[in-house]
Amino acid sequence: MSDDVFERRTRRFEEILGILERLAETPWARFHGDPEKYGSSERFLQLAVEVLDDLGAHVVARARVGPVASYGDVPARLLEAGHLSEAQARTWRRIIGFRDVLVHDYLEVDLTIVYDVLQNRLDDLRDLHRTLLAAHRRLA
């Protein structure tokens, strides 16, 4: 992935995060009764995680810290290389698991969890993104 592609993905992540922040302003009573709100939230959360995974895989490749057979390998490789803390790696693994639920178990998605992520976990996404940006810049 070129620096230009990394930057384009970064801009897309920031755009997605802005959308998620606006969706987070939706009161619960409206959110859980409005398929457009919760469906949009699910999709944009999925996209946010996928962009982070792509950026993380790029940092792994640039740092030459091992193979990535699946996105679950990305936090482990970045932790081993010192680009993530143990807490960040744990958080990222949970985020990847949440994305898997959104994609594969879409009939079983618990809207209270989606809403909780919007209300309380967007900072986790932001933190991981900042960490990836810093690692990318150090390796450039």
Task: Report the CATH number that the domain containing residue 126 is assigned in CATH.
Answer: 1.20.120.580
Counted domains in the chain: 1
Q: What is the pLDDT of residue 66?
A: 85
Q: Which two tokens stand for residue 26?
A: 């939706």
Q: Which of 52-56, 86-90, 103-107, 130-134 has the least mean pLDDT? A: 103-107
Q: Indicate the pLDDT class of residue 38, thresholds 50, 70 and 90.
A: very high
| Residue corresponding to tokens 């990535």 | 68
Look up the domain containing 81 and give its range: 3-139
Could you report how far apart the first and last alpha carbons of the chain are, in Å? 12
Q: What is the pLDDT of residue 100?
A: 94
Q: In the predicted model, is pLDDT for residue 83 greater than 80?
A: yes
Q: In the predicted model, is pLDDT for residue 4 greater than 90?
A: no
| 52 close to 20: Cβ distance less than 8 angstroms | no
Dist CA 102 CA 63 (whole Å):
30
pLDDT in tens, 102-121: 999 888 899 999 999 999 99
